[in-house]
Amino acid sequence: MAACKPSLSLRSGLLAASVALALTGCAGPKKELTTGSVPAGSAAVSPDRMAGLNATELHAAAERYGKAYEANPKDRNAGLNYANVLRMNGRNDQALAVMQQVAINYPTDRDVLAAYGKAQAAAGQLEQALTTIGRAQTPDRPDWRLKSAEGAILDQLGRSGEARLRYRDALDIAPNEPSVLSNLGMSYLLAKDLKTAESYLRTAARQPGADSGVRQNLALAVGLQGRFQEAEAIAKAELSEVQATANVAYLRSVLSQQNAWQKLAKTDKPAGNDANTN
C-alpha cells in the first residue's frame, strides 16, 4: 500500500497538506475496504475509508463508482462516492463537476453541500468553498468536521488567526479530536512556530484515534527542527515495512529542502503573527 503522505514543498505544499488532512483524512495501516466490497451506489462511503486503498484499488473503485453514477446521475450516494474517489485519485476538476450536478439535485442537503465545498477547495476555489461549507453548517447542530475544514481553507488563504479560531471551535465540539489537533499543529508549522506545532502534533499523536497522517506530520515538525533520527523513528512507527520505507524516503526528501526552508524564514515576516502568515 502506498504511504500516506502530504504533498509538501515548503509553504505552498504545507498549505495543501493542511487542507488535505482536514478534508479527506488519512488512513492508518489497517484497510477497511477492499475493491470487491465497495458498494456501487447503495450507501455513501466516507473519504477516510477510501484512503486505505492503494492506487490500483482506487482506480478500480473510480471505474465502479463511475458506472453507477453514469447509470443514474441523480443518485445522491452514487454522486458522492464518485466525487470522493475522483478526489482520492487527484482528479479534482472532474470531482467538482460531479458535485456541481449533485448539488443542483440536492441544494439543501447538508452532506451534499459539505462534499461540494470540499470539492471546491480541492479544485482551488477556496472562497467559494468557504461559502458552500458555511451553508452546510447549522448553528443548532454545528459539525466539527466542517469547522476544521473551514480552518484548513482559511489557512490556505493565509488567514491563520481565523483558521485557529475554527480549529478551537471544532475542539470545543470534539475535544482531543486528533485530526483537528493535527491541523492546528500544521497551522503553526506554516507560521514556522515549530515548537508550538510539535506540541499540538504530539498531543494529536497520543489520541486513540490518531492515524498515520498525524504521525507523519509530527515527524515533519520534529525533522524540521534538526532531530532527524527521532523524526525517522516517528515516521516508521506502527507501519508495515513497505509503508515505513516509503514514508522515511519521503520525509528525507522533504527535509533535504531544509536550506530552502531557512531561506524562506529569513525573507518572510516573523512567526507568531496570527493575522498574516504570508
pLDDT tens digits for 217-233? 999 999 999 898 999 99
Write the pLDDT tens digit of every residue in 58-90.
888 899 999 999 999 999 999 999 999 999 888
Q: Which pLDDT tens digit goes with each residue over 43-62?
A: 666 565 665 567 788 888 89
Q: Which residues pair with 9 in a beta bridge?
A: 11
Q: List, by residue range, all CATH 1.25.40.10 domains of the chain.
A: 1-24+142-262, 31-136
Please give the CATH number for the structural domain made up of 31-136. Answer: 1.25.40.10
Mind listing the pLDDT tens digit for each residue in 170-183? 999 999 999 999 99
Res 20 pLDDT > 50: no
Q: What pLDDT, on a 0 to 100 scale, did the predictor assign at position 252?
A: 82
Of 6, 8, 80, the C-alpha closest to 40 is 80
Q: What is the CATH number of domain 1-24+142-262?
A: 1.25.40.10
Q: Is the pLDDT of residue 17 over 50?
A: no
**What residues contact 52, with CB distance under 8 A and at least 6 apart?**
1, 27, 28, 30, 31, 32, 33
| 153 band by pLDDT with thresholds 50, 70 and 90 | very high
State residue 258's pLDDT score.
58
The pTM score is: 0.74
Instruction: Tell me the pLDDT of the chain averaged across its residues.
Output: 79
Q: Confirm if 150 and 131 have CB atoms less than 8 A apart.
A: no
Gap between the Cα atoms of 58 and 86, Å rounded: 9
